[in-house]
Structure 1
Amino acid sequence: MQHSLARLWRCAKSLSTSNSPGAPLSPERSLTFETLERRDLLAAAGLVDVGTQPDGALSGKIIYVNAGHGITGDFPNAGDWSFQRPLLLNMIEDLGNQDQATFFADYIFRAGATVVPMRPIGNQSNEVVLDNDDTEVTFSGAWTDSSSSIYFGDAGDVPYRFASKSVTETAFARYRPNIPESGFYPVYSWARYGSDRVADQLYRIRHSGGITEVTVNHRRVGNGMVYLGSYYFEAGTDGYVDISNRSADPNGSVVIADMIRFGNGMGDVVQSGTTSGRSREDEAGLYWIEWQVSNSQGISTSEYRTSSNDRSATVSATPRYAEYMNREADGALSDRLFISFHSNAGGGRGVVALHNTANGGDTPNQLLLAQLLGQEVNDDLVDQNGQFEYNWSNRGSNVTFQATFNYGEINNSVINNEFDATIVETGFHDSQLDASLMRDADVRDAIARATYQGVVRYFNNVDGGVTPITMLPGKVTDVRAETAGADSVTVSWTPPVANTYNGGTATGYRIYGSTNGYGFDGGTFVAGGATASYTLTGLDPSAGAYYFKVVAVNAGGESAGSEVVAALPNAGPKGILIVNGFDRLSRQQNPVQAGAERVRPRQSNSFDYSVQVAEAIEASSPDLVVDTASNEAVIAGDVLLSNYQAVVWISGEESTVDSTFDGAEQSLVGNYLNNGGQLFVSGTEIGWDLDAQAGGTTFYNDSLRADYVSDDANTYNVAGAVGSIFEGLSFSFDDGTLFYDADFPDVITELGGATRALNYVGGAGGGAAIQYDSGASTKLVNFAFPFETITSDADRTAVFSRVLDFFDFEVTLSDVELILDNDDGSPIYAETGSWSTAGNTGFNGTSYRFAPAGAAATAQWNFGLPFAGQGEVFVQFRSGSNRTSDTVYQIDTGGGIETVSISQKTDDLVWVSLGNFDFSAGARSILLDAGASSGGSVAIADAVRIVVPAPVTGNGDFDADGDIDGSDFLAWQRGFGTMGTATLEQGDANGDTNVDADDLVIWQTQYATATVLALATSAASAITSESTDTQRLDTQLLSALAQRVSLIPKSTASQRSNHNFVARETVQEAVQRAIPTSHVLRSTVRQSNAPSPIQEHQQSESAKQDAFAELGLDERISLRIAGF
């Protein structure tokens, strides 16, 4: 079957013949358009609204976490911002320390600890800080203003507010931020400690997945920021943090509401008139503390700083402020701990934990702490040798170090016996092997886990065995989500292995659910360590896609989350299987900052790319049944490809080391295609691995129908090939700004009957995707870059809707919005004559071109449209006094060339409309003619924008006979005016339960190019077949009217609607000119007193006028409403 542009994106005649949701359609099928609105995430049925921080072995423990060094602003001179350690072997210790601390904080948080960061956690350069007297903070119930001299805020502010505790909530303070950008935000609280505080002050964090409750003991810690966890917030004001007075503590009496911080923000501490220009997490902990103190009242700088030199002050700032935040009067030394992360140098390999001498520099149990942590990290990583790029160096028992001086960062002279402290030197950053390992996310994770396990052993030693030596479990694997009915999804997994380095035995599991894939609910607990599946019921198919991740739990805490799987729990046959085949997480994927690699897994592989796929499917075909499985589950036979009409295989940046498709996968996928399957596969390294590296050349050439050309397209831009299913689309994939850097995408070409689908724009050019249609049932779309990295939601939806249509599924039709820039180059942008590049920047900060007015020079932007329709064209340029006032553009609409002129003297870098034009589908262009332009010295060529709304579509086959004809029009005419209860049979074409003019437009559009009134002849023939008691109009009259009256579209450039029509003559004119008055309505035709169609509709004059207004019709169109 040939899928030409016209066939693929037809809008003149599109008739759905499918009665089952998501079923493949016949070649004549409905393409509908609807906007996927954001839904209230908590409203989705089947999810658990409220969850809590996990309980575990570290519940009740306070751990101060530091990341050593960080950029400072006074070296070598005041105002010079520089890192304290150099760039060496692709890492900077200052940055690696913060990455390591983030991994560690996640582990101890999931083990129940209260985490107090001395340098920010995670990476989020946005911030919102709300103090108790800000307008975004509201109070419910009884609260009292404090008169304390120590508080966060400006002098003269209300210091903070407090409320009396209650077993049931009677008061809360709500901090509602305006989040500037959707994303993951660490959340922190600031409250003054005191003897009257409850030990379980409740913070209720409302994020995009629901509510998570976290408690903090402010009798024991305060006067600085405490970490409440990291959560995904949507942009805007939906999220908040509540401070509740609900408490089960029998001792304390009050809760405190002072400050809540969302995100880390950009550094704003000034050194000699300059700021770092970097996010706070890159700065030394000194500045994180300085920001808190300088924005607070009643705290002396001596609590954290003893030197005016920032590098010197950094050394002891963090333990000093930890000691200040720690209220030693509550609890014991065995309830808290200070851990700092560094990396080593000076020759050597492996982990070393530091301690001081016994002459006043060491904390009470410092040597024990250093031994336990150093040994745990050493032994656990050695046990994993063979799983990393290089083996971890085994130092045996030589895992601690004591210098001839006291390390200031763990010096008891500033800690005062309040807690133990050590520095974990994770490895040697001047060793090529260690530096490579420390740039590996799996190694950083292993070090964090081992350090956490050492901490558990430490507390068990010093608190008399109160802390259980139960390590939280490892991750579950092989996760899959399979729709089990219209409201049910079965989630399955493989339990984690329990051993010394991977964690304890799971005693149960928690399935977290989500409706956006990033913010998760409170979780559904599933008992039993051997349990491997659970069916969630009561889900709402109308809520769209659900997303799930699974964690293992035991008394030690909660494991890290599994990869995210998606499901659309609709009724019907198995539609699409998403396969997570992207497992790679290596240092080669790391984002680079200041020349150094950062170990931030979400920017390398976040293991949640089923979200982008499922969102695109939902937006394109919301009634499909969609499941997700890991590729390991497919290999194991737990999920069968043959059960699905189509498979989407996510390969991401999977490459040769990890194998894009191993032998088993090649066999399974090859058999699936050979037996009529439909496959959409994408990834940057598939050709490199299978073809260039001979990992499966036959499979790549014969099954995936592609041939590898070269390794790197050197561009992130693509455009649809002429005649392909993507003709008319141009879009970009990610360079690391949004998801991960999809670098080194293969250049490929088609083989074995496949055709080109996408070409790279810029760079090396060449093929970016192929498509294949066997002519029977087998179909294939193969992208040489990852689909999930397409940078905009709209583009992903547009791409996927075309894939689904190619696979013969019912899909929605998306609006087209194209932005074409002169920098896009050939074939999108082309010139004749002499053009020059301006020294200034134009659209989106890129270049623009100019040519002398009157010179023989043209600039042309080329594009393709997948469907016909009325679209608006905009241009953007740098304005100026020397620009042409009569700048001539020519728009090739497919039906001719339309010329428009505008002035470029004003409207600098804004979109200026050239008007609305009736485009036909196919290759089109916008041309700027400098030779015809005048009124200035130069004409500017920069960017153009084309917006074409999707055609009005729906189902005009009201009588369900497979044809859209006059009899369907009569069905609409009979049902006209039915409001709120209408069905398709009654003439409701667009499914809004009303029969109105919109439905008539759909019927008219789907009757190919015939006008509404010209169809009267067909209606007449349909009438003659009815019994005499139901005949409505004289056949001769209909035929005569058809000859006299027709509809023509309005075509003025000021009109934007596709629904504007005028009539050539009125009904009365047509009737009088066509036939005698006595012939208009013959009573002999009727055998009842039923009103005529005209009389029926004239009974509702207001409805008729509403229809006119809705369509923007001339009143002379009354014939259209009156019965034709």
Structure 2
Amino acid sequence: MNFSKIIKRSVSLLFILISCFSIHDLNAQTLPKNVIANIGQYLTTAARQEVAGKPIAIDSIRFVKKTINIYAGVELSYIPFRKNNVATIYAQVKKRLPKEYASYSLAIFSDKYKIEDYIPSSLNDRFANKLDKPLITNISRPFEADRGLQGHHLAVWQSHGWYYEQKLGKWQWQRARIFQTVEDLYTQSYVLPYLVPMLENAGANVLLPRERDAQSHEIIIDNDHNRSQSTYKEKKGKEKWNDGETPGFANLKGNYQAGENPFKMGTFREIPTISKGKESFCEWIPNIPETGKYGVYISYQTVENSTDDALYTVYHLGGETEFKINQQMGGGTWIFLGYFSFEEGMNDDYKVVLSNRSHRSGRVLTADAVKIGGGMGNIARVPLNNETNAITYKPTISNYPRYAEGSRYWLQWAGVPDTVYSRTAGENDYSDDFQSRGFWVNYIAGGSSVLPEKGGLNIPIDLAMAFHSDAGTTPNDSIIGTLGICMTHFNDEKFENGKPRLASRHLADMITDEVINDIRQNYEPKWTRRPIWNRSYSEARVPEVPTMLLELLSHQNFADMRYGLDPRFQFMVSRSVYKGMLKFVAHQYDYDYVVQPLPVTSFSLEFAGDTEVRLNWIPTLDSTEPTAKPTKYIVYMRVDNGDFDNGEIVPYSNAQVSIEKDKIYSFKVAAVNDGGESFPSEILSVCRKSNEKGNVLVVNGFDRISAPISFTAQDSIAGFLDAIDHGVPDKNQYNYTGSQYEFRRAIPYMGNDTPGFGGSNSDYETTVVAGNTFDYPFLHGKSIVKAGYSFVSSSRDAVINGQTKLAKYQLVNLILGKQRQTNIGRGYFVPDFKTFPKELQTKITVYCRQGGNIFVSGAFVGSDLWNSENVLDEDLAFASSVLKYRWRVGLAATTAGNVKYAASPFSMFKGQMDFYNKPNTESYGVEAPDALEPLGDNSYTIYRYSDNNLSAGVASQTNYKTCVLGFPFEVIEEEDQRNDLMKSILSFMFRKD
């Protein structure tokens, strides 16, 4: 027997026992039970001022020398902590301690951390990457966002997507179709049109694990094989092109099955860079199937000694846009450059060109495929057992646009290893989809300062965010609200690079706080703040960068979705998320941030000479963000049917531009500061005709964007009635599945295919629905020019504030589209978008009574005044006595979408017209236009709805002339019909009697 080992073990055991007794004795001291209960009650009250929840228990009290450590339940960690409330909590808890502990220090913990550690500014060990040249630099952009997100790399994604369910052998959504949308599409309505552009306008490089272009066409141009009849060309200069040594992209197959990687099926080209001498080029010339806007992606390979300034030029309808690409990162996948417009066909004027010109000779430049457009899904899937019950399943693709599909399929098409996108080895696409996103973050960051010891694309990601909506309902139209999720309790609370995971909590706090505060201030004061959870969700746990999940609202709760379907809400929430990200990154890198400005307003054009146009606008100040002040502006210009150029900086809120006669010029303006660029203004257009017959002022009074009309009927039924008014999407709508069919509140959710209350159709879920383009002066103007007249245009607000003088023009063409008074949500604030605000009525009344003529068209020009919640006598008097019409009926005025001329003394009005009356891809639809009747002498019906003969438009002639249509001019389907109608109106208005 080895006595020496026995003695050693006995001594060790004795030491452990003594130590345990010592610790027990040390911590035996505690506080009286009534004091502990009082502290718990106070913390519960303090926490419930922020987040509703369970009572907060005090789990334990520890005395360590002269410090009292209070360990509160995890519920305390759910609230946002700031210096003020932390100081208050400490002061109030200390007041509740017995007097004998007055000299003791105090530390309050929840979920392992001191509460002061939850303050976002508390983190000293910051998650800051080494920044050299970013992945993408748009060198045609006329500004830099030095105090925005310039050069930073962010990973963002929009929840789930269309996926293949192996158990059922079919493609389906991951969530239910409810309240006219499905989460898989719904969150795209924030991320794609708003959040990503805001981050990019701040200078960020934004990477997504899902397709971001809703364009269903896709053109691949490659050095190996071109299925689209497009062309790849090389032009040799001082150096020549050669094949690379490793595989590259080739689109050799129509569809791709499990494990197949198109970026391993072909070759790529490479060439040394030169700083002087004759440069070499390669060109990708697409065969465009249809004129329109397309996302442009490039690909290349990262090799030893790759160049960091590959010069790409995109030639498009708006001119040329140049990019510098750091090929030392991002090789072997699709890299998104931007959206550009191209003309149908194959034309050397529209292409992507790569030059080997560089600031440094002798580095390696590589070239592979170019992808234009989002395309349709091309990943084919089969059940696990391909033969079940005598059924043999063939591999099937989704038959959906790729932007609707989940991450798992995009990542395969983008060349990502199957170890990233298929964690279950192909057994469960549902699981693979949500798991793939976090592992994709690590893959693209691998090799950078984020994950220096792991392979990947070497892109230094600063943060990641998953944008979701949640499930859950309330019985009384209260709000479910906003939840933030992070995960810090993993890998010893540290990221792989040694930085603290607590940064994820700070990111979640900063973003959710911005969101909740902005919603409460702008739309719903009672918006619910839900907890900030620290939980092991895959998307929060796996990424080795600060990461959060945002559960913005419940897509299953009617009260939430009355806000959530509104583009105004979507814009505002996206701006809140952008601000949270900006402030987080600025803190990590220790610089003073500047928030990009809001869009300008009161935009107007006027002739400043025969071939000169003056532009005026007014900046919009952000009352919540003092830094968001513009310091300069960008004026973008478009000529005829082209696209906008790269813009020109101007220092003041006005500009003067020379134009050529007989061309239509269009302009939009963005505000700029050191934080980036605002979203653009509406688009205004102008044309000076040679031998003009007259001059028309086009006023855009259609600025409505809104959710579908909604209703509640006590506790029995509620929902969205888009057959009456679909609302107005902001340019395009990505998230609409179809009309709601289940309005009974009592019908429960039983499954995705039987979702109960809110259940909605699926007939539109692959359709990108057209909305308000804010470009209708151009469409009206084309018809005006066709008739031989010049025109300028103005916003309604510029008329109201006197910036635009109506009296200068013989005819005013007022665009009212689907303008109508519209609430958001439950209508806490006054409605927006009145057709004729009081100030506008005054301007029009003075103008007409001085002999001015006016043409008005809009779907709700009558019902908005006669049939709104707030009918005013002065509104009715204005329409009746000034514009000479009254409202007859709305809603059921027509279902045919067709009008025909009516006999009247005004013989120039002829023909018939079809107009869009349902959601579609070409134009916003008018579901329920107004029927109007003429009022007074010399006022007559000039058009009637074909299906019921109700009056669709009226014209009058007294000492001035009016023409009012109950359907918008711009929704007429055929251009020839629009031209004929405008010619008739102009003939009537300019006729000398």
Deviations 1:987-1006 (A, max 9, x none): xxxxxxxxxxxxxxxxxxxx
Letter in 2 for 1:51: S
Deviations 1:796-837 (A, max 9, x none): 222212211222279xxxxxxxxxxxxxxxxxxxxxxxxxxx
Structure-2 separation of matches of 1:204 and 1:399: 47
Structure-2 separation of matches of 1:450 and 1:598: 28
Letter in 2 for 1:736: P
Distance 1:76 1:787, change over 3 A: farther
Q: Please give the secondary structure, in 1, of the residue aligned with 2:681.
A: coil
Structure-2 separation of matches of 1:196 and 1:228: 23
1:732 aligns with 2:915: yes
Task: Give the one of 60, 71, 91 matched to 2:162.
Answer: 71
Letter in 1 for 2:313: R
Q: Do the aligned residues in 1 keep the contact of 2:508 with 2:547 (CA within 8 Å)?
A: no
Deviations 1:608-647 (A, max 9, x none): 11121111112221xx332111111101011111110111
Structure-1 separation of matches of 2:305 and 2:400: 39
Letter in 2 for 1:96: Y
Letter in 2 for 1:139: E
- Residue 153 of structure 1 corresponds to 250
**More moved, 566-575 vs 170-179:** 566-575
Q: Do the aligned residues in 2 keep the contact of 1:119 with 1:281 (CA within 8 Å)?
A: yes
Q: Do the aligned residues in 2 keep the contact of 1:450 with 1:501 (CA within 8 Å)?
A: no
Q: Please give the secondary structure, in 2, of the residue aligned with 1:152.
A: coil
Distance 1:551 1:573, change over 3 A: farther
- Residue 423 of structure 1 corresponds to 549
Task: Give the one of 658, 670, 683 matched to 1:564.
Answer: 683
Q: Please give the secondary structure, in 1, of the residue aligned with 2:990.
A: coil
Structure-1 separation of matches of 2:626 and 2:896: 40
- Residue 98 of structure 1 corresponds to 188
Task: Give the one of 468, 473, 481 matched to 1:342.
Answer: 468
Letter in 1 for 2:946: V
1:554 aligns with 2:677: no
Q: Please give the secondary structure, in 1, of the residue aligned with 2:978.
A: helix
Structure-2 separation of matches of 1:594 and 1:285: 24
Structure-2 separation of matches of 1:734 and 1:50: 43
Q: Do the aligned residues in 2 keep the contact of 1:517 with 1:611 (CA within 8 Å)?
A: no
Task: Give the one of 823, 843, 849 matched to 1:674.
Answer: 849
- Residue 1102 of structure 1 corresponds to none
- Residue 443 of structure 2 corresponds to 324
- Residue 84 of structure 1 corresponds to 174
Distance 1:98 1:421, change over 3 A: same
Shift of 1:574: 7.5
Letter in 1 for 2:561: A
Task: Give the one of 701, 708, 718 matched to 2:880.
Answer: 701
Q: Do the aligned residues in 1 keep the contact of 2:507 with 2:547 (CA within 8 Å)?
A: no
* Aligned length, in residue pairs: 735
Q: Please give the secondary structure, in 2, of the residue aligned with 1:666.
A: helix
Task: Give the one of 784, 787, 791 matched to 2:969.
Answer: 787
Q: Do the aligned residues in 2 keep the contact of 1:198 with 1:249 (CA within 8 Å)?
A: no
Shift of 1:457: 2.1
Shift of 1:136: 1.4
Task: Give the one of 613, 627, 631 matched to 2:796.
Answer: 631
Letter in 2 for 1:212: T
Structure-2 separation of matches of 1:372 and 1:452: 12
1:585 aligns with 2:682: no
Unpaired runs of 5+ in structure 1? 1-48, 294-298, 811-1124
Structure-1 separation of matches of 2:481 and 2:399: 34
Structure-1 separation of matches of 2:157 and 2:600: 30
Shift of 1:311: 0.4
- Residue 387 of structure 2 corresponds to none
Structure-2 separation of matches of 1:504 and 1:469: 10
Q: Please give the secondary structure, in 2, of the residue aligned with 1:509.
A: strand
Distance 1:574 1:620, change over 3 A: closer
Shift of 1:313: 0.7
- Residue 378 of structure 2 corresponds to 268
Mapping of residues 366-765 of structure 1, within 5 Å: 366-379=501-514, 381-383=516-518, 385=520, 387-388=522-523, 390-391=524-525, 393=527, 395=529, 400-403=532-535, 406-412=536-542, 415=543, 417=544, 419-463=545-589, 465=590, 468-501=592-625, 504-516=628-640, 519-527=643-651, 531-537=652-658, 539-542=659-662, 544-569=663-688, 575-588=695-708, 589=727, 590=729, 592-595=736-739, 603-621=770-788, 624-657=789-822, 658-693=833-868, 694-695=871-872, 696-712=875-891, 713-723=894-904, 724-733=907-916, 735-737=918-920, 738-752=922-936, 753-762=938-947, 764-765=948-949
1:255 aligns with 2:372: no
Shift of 1:327: 4.8
Q: Please give the secondary structure, in 2, of the residue aligned with 1:627.
A: strand
| Greater C-alpha radius of gyration | 1
Distance 1:257 1:518, change over 3 A: same
Shift of 1:93: 1.1
Q: Do the aligned residues in 2 keep the contact of 1:517 with 1:564 (CA within 8 Å)?
A: no
Deviations 1:452-500 (A, max 9, x none): 222222222333x2x5512211111111111212221111110120444
Q: Do the aligned residues in 1 keep the contact of 2:160 with 2:433 (CA within 8 Å)?
A: yes
Structure-2 separation of matches of 1:502 and 1:251: 46
Q: Please give the secondary structure, in 1, of the residue aligned with 2:468.
A: strand
Shift of 1:305: 1.0
TM-score normalised to structure 1 length: 0.62
Unpaired runs of 5+ in structure 2? 1-137, 253-263, 383-393, 453-458, 474-478, 709-726, 740-759, 823-832
Structure-1 separation of matches of 2:334 and 2:526: 36
Shift of 1:581: 0.4
Deviations 1:680-732 (A, max 9, x none): 11110111012233351122222222221211322211222245433233333
Q: Do the aligned residues in 1 keep the contact of 2:519 with 2:527 (CA within 8 Å)?
A: no
Distance 1:330 1:367, change over 3 A: closer
Deviations 1:235-282 (A, max 9, x none): 333563424336655598233221222221222333344333321111
Shift of 1:110: 1.3
Shift of 1:164: 2.9
TM-score normalised to structure 2 length: 0.69
Structure-1 separation of matches of 2:362 and 2:304: 7
- Residue 306 of structure 1 corresponds to 423
Q: Do the aligned residues in 2 keep the contact of 1:373 with 1:455 (CA within 8 Å)?
A: no
Distance 1:422 1:268, change over 3 A: same
Structure-1 separation of matches of 2:680 and 2:248: 37
Q: Please give the secondary structure, in 1, of the residue aligned with 2:207.
A: strand
Share of identical aligned residues, percent?
Answer: 25
Shift of 1:353: 2.7
Q: Do the aligned residues in 1 keep the contact of 2:776 with 2:970 (CA within 8 Å)?
A: yes
Q: Do the aligned residues in 2 keep the contact of 1:201 with 1:244 (CA within 8 Å)?
A: yes
Q: Do the aligned residues in 1 keep the contact of 2:603 with 2:616 (CA within 8 Å)?
A: yes
Distance 1:602 1:271, change over 3 A: closer
Shift of 1:743: 1.7
Q: Do the aligned residues in 1 keep the contact of 2:272 with 2:362 (CA within 8 Å)?
A: no
Q: Do the aligned residues in 2 keep the contact of 1:117 with 1:225 (CA within 8 Å)?
A: no
Letter in 2 for 1:94: D
Distance 1:343 1:194, change over 3 A: farther
Letter in 2 for 1:610: P
Shift of 1:733: 3.4
Q: Do the aligned residues in 1 keep the contact of 2:738 with 2:765 (CA within 8 Å)?
A: no
- Residue 208 of structure 2 corresponds to 117
Mapping of residues 772-811 of structure 1, within 5 Å: 772-774=956-958, 776=959, 778-808=960-990
Letter in 1 for 2:272: S
Distance 1:216 1:322, change over 3 A: farther
**More moved, 370-379 vs 443-452:** 370-379
Letter in 2 for 1:86: A
Shift of 1:669: 1.2
Structure-1 separation of matches of 2:266 and 2:766: 41
Deviations 1:541-580 (A, max 9, x none): 23x1100000011121111100001111458897111111
